[in-house]
Amino acid sequence: MFGQGGIGIVRISGDAARGLMERFFHPRRPVVGLDSHRFYYGVFGPSAQDPIDEVMAVFMQAPHSYTREDVVEIHCHGSAVVGRRVIEALVGAGCRLAHPGEFTLRAFLNGRIDLSQAEGVMELINSHSLLGQRQALRHLQGALGLRCQGLREALCQALAVVEAWIDFPEEDLDSESETRIHGLVGDALAQIEGLVASFQAGRILREGVAVLILGRPNVGKSSLLNALLGSDRAIVTDLPGTTRDTLEEHMDLGGLRVRFIDSAGLRQSCDPIEQEGVRRSRAKISEADLILFLVDGHQGLTAEDLDTYALCDPAKVFLVSNKCDLGLKPLDEKLPAAAFVHLSARTGQGLEELRAAIRGFFLDQSSLAGEEELYVTEERHRDCLQRCAASLRRALEAHEGGLSLEFVALELRQGLDHLGEITGETAPDEIINRIFSQFCIGK
């Protein structure tokens, strides 16, 4: 499927790539041979006299290419008609259309990248925020694969010691070897448990968070949404019940992708449309990662506020007192909440403090500072690490319990297999095929 844009790129990979370029690409100036990784200007078509388009073309000689095969790229104008004609000419000359993710699959099969890096490609393509993009790039650059490689080396050293004693059962396992086995496995287990624990923050970096703005009618929920977005996205009036449905908008909040949800004010109503809006707002309470519980700070807490607050989990609630520009009545500071924030949605006072509090609620300081911390972002990776950790715990239990070293060796081998699934060394074909089937055509 060829889209429309300023430039379209047609990529060819394989042994015939150079020959196809020499057949269809006609440089404006005569050239002797094709230098690798050099752009040439000319026309593409059956002949120079019958061109399809003016193009830039580049030949990348194996193994110095994305797939480690000979690769040619034709940079033509981004017209659907031009792109289709270029592809038709190449297919007529013996090319076939690539399967989804096939270029990255070839890069993986040819050893240029490991499986976690391949997944980093798709993660980078799908990134929606600065912090998510940074973490995806770390995966693409092989940070997780390198960490797994270091863990595998440590476990292989422990396994070598265990198997050496298995091969010579007449010798007793000395205390130095026991200490080394326990140290290597224990340290690897601690690192793996740390990676597993990073998944929650990693999921936030990758997928973002849902923040619900909740409260009774006319406390300024829609005004707060507009102020956070910096645009008049929600209708604001002095009439209660203006918002009849949930309204959702995404924004990048200091590198964090946030989905803000403006909700209908929770109150008793005879209007069936408003009743449905209230029902939907209640349903969003359990789905939200954070709730901005908004109250009219000038009026103070009401019984209606307290009834609505009772529906929430205080651990994920920010109590936000709006209309501080009009003067605030004291709130019950004993009301449980993750944070208290005073602001004015009308003037913008306190908004930056609220934004900082939202970022800080989800991310630690290293994330906010953009430091190169490694987070697990894929459910598949977490599952592999959890299974590896379970194997290592059983290995330590077997070792400490005085069981036969064969049991220790068995668990260490299983742990190594689970780590290998992350990088693809021991991943079954079914997993590999499923991963690459999610890629887009041309990547």
Question: Per-domain residue ranges for the chain?
Answer: 5-97, 118-198+376-437, 213-368
208 is written with which tokens?
A: 């973002």
pLDDT value at residue 237:
46
pLDDT value at residue 338:
77
Q: Are 128 and 208 in contact (CB under 8 A)?
A: yes
Tell me whether residue 286 is annotated as binding: no
Tell me whether residue 420 is annotated as binding: no
pLDDT value at residue 274:
47
Beta-bridged to residue 253, according to DSSP, are: 256
CB-count exposure of residue 258 (10 Å: 0-12, 13-18, 19+): buried
Q: Can you say whether the dihedral through the CA atoms of 57, 59, 64, 69 is positive or negative?
A: positive
Tell me whether residue 65 is annotated as binding: no
Instruction: State the Cα–Cα distance between residues 302 and 331, nearest whole angstrom.
Output: 10
Q: Which of 3.90.1150.10, 3.40.640.10, 3.40.50.11540, 3.30.1360.120 is the CATH number of 5-97?
A: 3.30.1360.120
190 is written with which tokens?
A: 């601690």
pLDDT value at residue 221:
83
Question: Is the CATH number 1.20.210.10 carried by domain 118-198+376-437?
Answer: no
pLDDT value at residue 214:
87
Exposure on the CB side of residue 206, measured as CA atoms within 13 A = 24
Tell me whether residue 265 is annotated as binding: yes
Tell me whether residue 364 is annotated as binding: no
Tell me whether residue 382 is annotated as binding: no
Nearest to 282 by CA among 233, 358, 216: 216
Q: Are 261 and 212 in contact (CB under 8 A)?
A: yes
pLDDT by 10s per residue, the chain, length 443:
566 788 999 999 999 999 999 999 999 988 888 899 999 999 999 999 999 999 999 999 999 999 999 999 999 999 999 999 999 999 999 999 999 889 999 999 999 999 999 999 999 988 888 888 888 999 999 999 999 999 999 999 999 988 887 777 655 556 677 788 889 999 999 999 999 999 988 888 888 899 999 888 878 888 888 888 886 654 444 444 444 456 888 888 888 899 898 876 555 554 554 455 555 666 678 788 999 988 888 887 888 888 888 888 888 889 888 888 887 777 766 677 778 888 888 888 999 999 999 988 888 655 544 556 889 999 999 999 999 999 999 999 998 888 888 999 999 999 999 999 999 999 988 889 889 888 877 78
Q: Which helix (H) or strand (E) holds 56?
A: strand 53-60
Tell me whether residue 134 is annotated as binding: no
Tell me whether residue 400 is annotated as binding: no
CB-count exposure of residue 343 (10 Å: 0-12, 13-18, 19+): buried
39 is written with which tokens?
A: 């752009």
Tell me whether residue 284 is annotated as binding: no
pLDDT value at residue 207:
87
Instruction: State the Cα–Cα distance between residues 298 and 323, nearest whole angstrom.
Output: 6
Cα Rg for the chain, rounded, in angstroms? Answer: 29
Tell me whether residue 179 is annotated as binding: no
Question: Is the CATH number 3.40.640.10 carried by domain 213-368?
Answer: no
Instruction: State the Cα–Cα distance between residues 335 and 195, nearest whole angstrom.
Output: 35
Tell me whether residue 42 is annotated as binding: no
Tell me whether residue 159 is annotated as binding: no
Tell me whether residue 187 is annotated as binding: no
Nearest to 341 by CA among 330, 353, 323, 359: 353
